[in-house]
Amino acid sequence: MLTKVNVSLKARPKSKYNILLGDGILSNWQNWLSIQCPDKQIVIITDKIVENIYAHSFSKTLTKNGYNVLILSIEPGEESKVQSTKEYLELEMLKAKFGRNTLLLAFGGGIVGDLAGFIAATYMRGIRYIQIPTTLLAMIDSSVGGKTAINTPYGKNMIGVIFQPSLVVMDLALLSSLSKILVINGLIEALKIFLTLDNKSFTYARLNLNKLLEREPHTLKSVIARAVKLKVKVVKIDEFEENLRMILNFGHTIGHALEKLSNYHILHGYAVGLGILVEAKISQLMGILSIENYELISRVLNSIGISKDMLSAFNADEIVSIAKGDKKNHSGKILFVLLKDIGEVYTKNDMVATPVDENYIIQAFNSLL
């Protein structure tokens, strides 16, 4: 069955689009593609792995049906989400004479989605694009909400823009080729959304972890749909991250620092999982979260392979120093989303991000190691 989630943004009510979630939507592409692309000009941005499994044959199908298709694929990995790749792809599109009537398909995981979305936002001052997420992480999180970005030597996602797609197509069939590690990678972003917004969904995911790891379709679809609906609710209210949307950065202040320190060798979801562990610990040390809830979170993460021992590879002082440079901070204080309860964040003066004394971060590391 097809689930359709409508995204209409409070600040720009006219800019509406749909998220489609179902099994086999890609093979029914006629149902959603032609209306998005009357001029039949398509650029597919993908990575080499996704190209081999899905995007190459999809592009052939479109060509056979009269579309003018350029497929551009990048090396998989965070190293590709940089300015030089963006420039290379844009120049290839210009060389092939793709104009403003081009529809761009961001066909891949979060890396392809963030990079291709940024290209769509700036190519000839903006062209339409469709997100076709192929990882669980990209379905649950990165393809929803229009955040696009590239990394720099000074930090992750430092250059980018919020630019909404005209459609998001989530085909569950594409998840069958994901490794268990990539399923866990995505599941962590779902747990992050549930921990900050919805106790019931956290309980559902926690009680169905084994089914999720086995990619049982019904359970997987339910978790994706829950996470997407929660994220859409947040983005509708606060598209430009003035306050509420920061909730989705839970686990990310520490997570991004770990990614940078590991030279992006640790997967995003795993870094966020460790970030959740540390940030929940900070919440508990500050007397905001109960020890029982902290331990529950720690147990759930542990059961999917996120253990505090993985933190021993990192130095707390270095993490503090990188976290200070996070783009969400101001006046030298490190801002954290802190957890008050499962499904509820701590707020002060209605703000969801709280400045935290760096001693708490060091203390959290010391008590975890």
Ligand X SMILES: NC(=O)c1ccc[n+]([C@@H]2O[C@H](COP(=O)([O-])OP(=O)(O)OC[C@H]3O[C@@H](n4cnc5c(N)ncnc54)[C@H](O)[C@@H]3O)[C@@H](O)[C@H]2O)c1
Residue number with CB closer to ligand X (132 or 339):
132
* Inter-residue contact 212 to 183 (CB < 8 Å): yes
Token duo for residue 182? 């990539």
Interface pick for ligand X out of 44, 104, 145, 250 (rule CB under 6 A): 145
Residue number with CB closer to ligand X (201 or 249):
249
Q: How many CB atoms lie within 10 A of CB 341?
A: 14
Q: Which one-letter amino acid corresponds to residue 148?
A: T
> If we measure between CA atoms, which residue out of 122, 98, 117, 89 comes closest to residue 42?
98
- 49 to 78, contacts with ligand X by CB under 6 A? 49-50, 53, 76, 78
Q: Which one-letter amino acid corresponds to residue 264?
A: Y
Residue number with CB closer to ligand X (167 or 285):
167
Strands 167-171 and 16-22: parallel
188 binds ligand X (CB under 6 A): no
Q: Return the beta strands (E) in the chain as ranges.
A: 3-8, 16-22, 41-47, 68-74, 103-108, 128-133, 147-152, 155-162, 167-171, 334-337, 339-341, 344-345, 353-356
Total residues at interface with ligand X (CB under 6 A)? 29
Find the shortest distance in angstroms from Cβ 305 to ligand X. Answer: 15
109 binds ligand X (CB under 6 A): yes
Interface pick for ligand X out of 127, 168, 174, 300 (rule CB under 6 A): 174
**CB neighbours of 191 closer than 8 A, spacing ≥ 6?**
202, 205, 273, 276, 300, 301
Residue number with CB closer to ligand X (85 or 135):
135
Interface pick for ligand X out of 5, 110, 194, 283 (rule CB under 6 A): 110
End-to-end CA distance of the chain: 46
Token duo for residue 234? 């947040």
Residue number with CB closer to ligand X (145 or 275):
145
Of 3-11, 102-110, 276-284, 322-330, the window that binds ligand X (rule: CB under 6 A) is 102-110
Residues in the chain: 369
- Contact pattern from residue 74 through residue 93 relative to ligand X, giving x for each residue in contact according to CB under 6 A and a dash for the rest: --x-x--x------------
171 binds ligand X (CB under 6 A): no
Interface pick for ligand X out of 62, 130, 178, 323 (rule CB under 6 A): 178
- 250 to 309, contacts with ligand X by CB under 6 A? 268
Of 57-65, 85-93, 170-178, 286-294, the window that binds ligand X (rule: CB under 6 A) is 170-178
Find the shortest distance in angstroms from Cβ 9 to ligand X. Answer: 15
- Tokens 């097809």 correspond to 2
* Inter-residue contact 140 to 189 (CB < 8 Å): yes
Residues known to be catalytic: 125, 147, 189, 231, 241, 245, 249, 252, 256, 268
Distance (Å, whole) CA 342 – CA 337: 13
Distance (Å, whole) CA 37 – CA 104: 10
Residue number with CB closer to ligand X (76 or 217):
76
Interface pick for ligand X out of 47, 238, 241, 279 (rule CB under 6 A): 47
Distance (Å, whole) CA 72 – CA 89: 7
Find the shortest distance in angstroms from Cβ 368 to ligand X. Answer: 24
Applying CB under 6 A, the residues found at the interface with ligand X are 47, 49-50, 53, 76, 78, 81, 108-112, 114, 134-135, 137-138, 141-142, 145, 147, 157, 174, 177-178, 182, 185, 189, 268
